[in-house]
Chains A and B, each alone.
Chain A
């Protein structure tokens, strides 16, 4: 017992930017805990015990260099967060658990392979194939491109504080792990390309969603793309940019998911077209949301601008890079601005604004805990945006870095003008609300596609899709093998002489091969 305890303690590493990330993780979890105080009504004790367990294991994941405890703690994170989903629906728990478990088995395999190749501690790994396996391993957990399919349904269906935890910090754990294993000098081209694909695809999807939580979930994927791209680029500033982006996006996304929960209670809906008189009804929530959305859209003077600027500046300079990053920035600006446009500008009536504000027509009570959580998030964004070097001093060199605020201001103004033009002329990209997003529907669509190849339209009972698809196919296949092996009793007994003959003649058979 003593040995394992010593090994556990010896595995901790307190250098570089990981302690800073751990602190941010603690702050974010406390924010969600504050927000959950009034949101979660039943079994509060269990929820908070799960939160504490989650917090401790997430800290271990970030700080340890020991493979064993890393995997162990991550598995605990998975378990605790999946049980937190139970406050919404047990179905989600099962789906999330199965997905995360399949991800962690790839990760386990990768970790063991790394261990077998002599990387006895978590540290920079030079071999590219090994990097690839580990990237695949975290891919499922952290929603890399093509493995992100589960992220929008589950993050949008979860209870709001849990979405805030999942989207704000749990998915980041994978990228923090990548920060440890990808060498800073070289980066990884594959990761770079995947990041690019994520930004574009998920950004486009975020632009096309009418549901606030789904939009936020897709924007998570898109912003994670920036982190993946930064780590893939390699280089000091790219890595600092990734760290800063993890922190900035963590604050912004946590705040946004908390406020989405509040709005859901306030309006009884998650569709952004339904939100009216948002500012007069909930002034603090609106201010925090505007601040966070601005940070998502990388408006100048916000946290998102600093991190994205760092990532941009780490690329090899050139006209193509400038153009591509201009467009990528525009995409994220566009989907963030669209939400602001719909909630605060389009079809809003500000004629009696001041009297409404004084009156405070809110349906859902304003709780102090919620306000505190939102203010903490906003403060976090402000701190990151004005002091990117941050208290810890690891990123101290950022204090002298020139962030070219003037060109940033120019870009933001151009974005604003373009966005305003596009919104006014396209009716604010008003898009039909999509059907309930869920993994069953994905499976249904996939199966319909497969059956559609034979021109048959079959309606599946999606309630039993787990049973039907995951099980019956496997059941029938293994039944066939079973029937092949299980012949009648005489043939079963016949195996004994056959086996003995094989053993006695094994020398000859072996020589023959």
Chain B
């Protein structure tokens, strides 16, 4: 019983509900309140880490909390093992950075923005910590609805269209997930993940297949793997930059976590192998990755391009995790971490760079690098990390992913990794070159520029925004040199993925 993990969810939730009340008193107080919430959350995580250092070393780290004192299989349990700890930490770091960025970036409707933002934070923490299937569903719905509202935050026609498309896809996925939860409940009589995992192998194989298929479809929609990738680039493009950083940096990683949780802990990978689904899924994910990189080549919009490259990377991560080897998890989770920081950093930098441009189009990218030199250099460092240049974190993670593919003799996967790097060189170098091109303004251009400039594009606090961009670049460079720092957490999380029996025993018996 450790109540701290409950507070990890409650603090952002409470912040979200208190922000409107604070607004009634004084709107300027809001920013400090937001900071307070984030700092409290960080404090909680730091105390959890410092309080359990011995358990990390012994490899027996496990925390849980029974809501209302009801024990499983009846009550709802919150559980934190090595895997969820790692995800909680990186998610919290990213949320922390993006919220500070938002303080500088979001200049209008701040109150609504922070409410939605903290609901996302609470929901992602909840989805990472809960040990109950229905609870996961609730948090997924929360994520969908709040992020849908944030995608349409600009209230332009495009943004609304993207938000509606996003909501249609994700609500459908949520429905499917709910259906899966129902089927599980009618067949096993419990929704506790450990209890389900214990009894899942006894089900008929037809029902097993049905449940796996429903969960798979729903989670693949959420992650944006090939047949369902259509909602992703559009919503990444139209959302404000910090929201895109959250969408690509945090939400897709939370869904990856849920994917791992459900298919390794709850359903069990043996079931997937016995249904021969793993081969199909690996090839599908790799094909999706291929398509993502190819689509990125044709994109004339920097934010969409980054969205397509996200599809490429997430497909690759999914495939390498599906190899179900230790090396695969190592590379996959390391790439999850590095992709989280790289993509969030890139979107954050885009938010700064695109502030004075007319649109996100390639042509308008001209001269951006000359105007904001230092931010553009950070942007280039992040791009190089996406490509996989050595001193950066992207190289280390891609290296391990490639090693995992080669070790499993999956040459298609190895090809996709290399192909991704090569295409990335092509599509990123183009933008870098464009950014350094000098702008020669004619009079017509000037007129158009003056009349079409969006009124609210000037940043609220420019220093904070550029500082966060540098922070992301520094993280990428620093951990690129010291990526061995992740060795222990990665081994812990691999241990908790592979050791399902221990999880079941601890949740049910503890």
Contacts and interface: CB of A to CB of B under 8 A. Distances in A.
Contact of B213 (A108, A471, A503): A503
Interface of B, helix, strand, loop or mixed by DSSP: helix
B216 interface: yes
Given A105-B422, A470-B426, A496-B217, A482 B227 contact: no
A500 B213 contact: yes
Contact of B217 (A71, A116, A481, A503): A503
B74 to A, nearest CB: 32
A495 B168 CA distance: 14
Given A482-B298, A503-B213, A495 B402 contact: no
A116 B406 contact: yes
B227 A499 contact: yes
B399 to A, nearest CB: 7
Interface string A34-77: 00000000000000000000000000000000001001100110
Interface in A357-416: none
Chain A CB within 10 Å, residue with most, of B168, B277, B298, B403: B298
Interface string B473-495: 00000000010110100000000
B421 A485 contact: no
B221 interface: yes
B169 to A, nearest CB: 8
A75 to B, nearest CB: 4
B460 interface: no
Interface string B125-168: 00000000000000000000000000000000000000001001
A467 B426 CA distance: 10
Contacts of A485: 291, 295
A500 B298 contact: no
A451 interface: no
Interface residues of A, number: 45
A112 B291 contact: no
A507 interface: yes
A478 B277 contact: no
B389 A75 contact: yes
A76 B425 CA distance: 17
Given A1-B484, A94-B429, A496-B221, A507 B276 contact: yes
Interface stretch (A123-131, A143-151, A232-240, A486-494): A486-494
Interface residues of B, number: 48
Contacts of A449: none
Contacts of A72: 390-391, 395
Contact of A495 (B228, B279, B429): B228
A478 B418 contact: no
B406 A503 contact: no
Contacts of A113: 406
Given A3-B484, A112-B403, A496-B217, A478 B294 contact: yes
Contacts of A1: 482, 484-485
Given A4-B482, A4-B484, A94-B433, A76 B422 contact: no
A486 B232 CA distance: 12
Interface in B391-422: 391, 395, 399, 402-403, 406-407, 414, 418, 421-422
Nearest to B406: A116
Given A98-B429, A496-B172, A496-B221, A504 B228 contact: no
Chain A CB within 10 Å, residue with most, of B169, B291, B390, B402: B390
Contacts of B33: none
Contact of B418 (A75, A105, A503, A506): A105
A489 B162 CA distance: 12
Interface in A436-474: 466-467, 470-471, 474
Q: Which 7 A-B pairs have the closest CB atoms?
A: A495-B227, A503-B213, A478-B298, A478-B297, A116-B406, A75-B390, A479-B298
